[in-house]
Amino acid sequence: MAPRTKNPPPADPDVMTITELAAYLRCSRSSIYRLIKREKLPAFRIGSDWRFKRELIEKWMEDQRRARSHHLKPDLASWPEPKAPDFSNGRNDQRL
**What is the per-residue pLDDT for 2?**
60
Find, among 43, 12, 49, the residue nearest to 25 by Cα. 43
Strands 15-16 and 49-53: antiparallel
With respect to residue 57, please indicate whether it lies within any of the assigned structural domains: yes
- For residues 64 and 54, what is the distance between their CA atoms, to the nearest angstrom? 15
| Any domain includes 44 | yes
Q: Could you tell me which residues are beta bridge partners of residue 53?
A: 15
Asked whether residue 81 is assigned to any structural domain, the reply reads no
List pLDDT tens digits, range 32-73.
999 999 999 999 999 999 999 999 999 999 999 988 876 665
pTM: 0.61
Answer yes or no: is 55 within a domain.
yes
Asked whether residue 92 carries a pLDDT value surpassing 60, the answer given is: no
> Considering the domain boundaries, does residue 82 fall inside one?
no
Report if residue 65 sits inside a domain: yes
- Residue 68: domain span: 15-72
| Domain count along the chain | 1
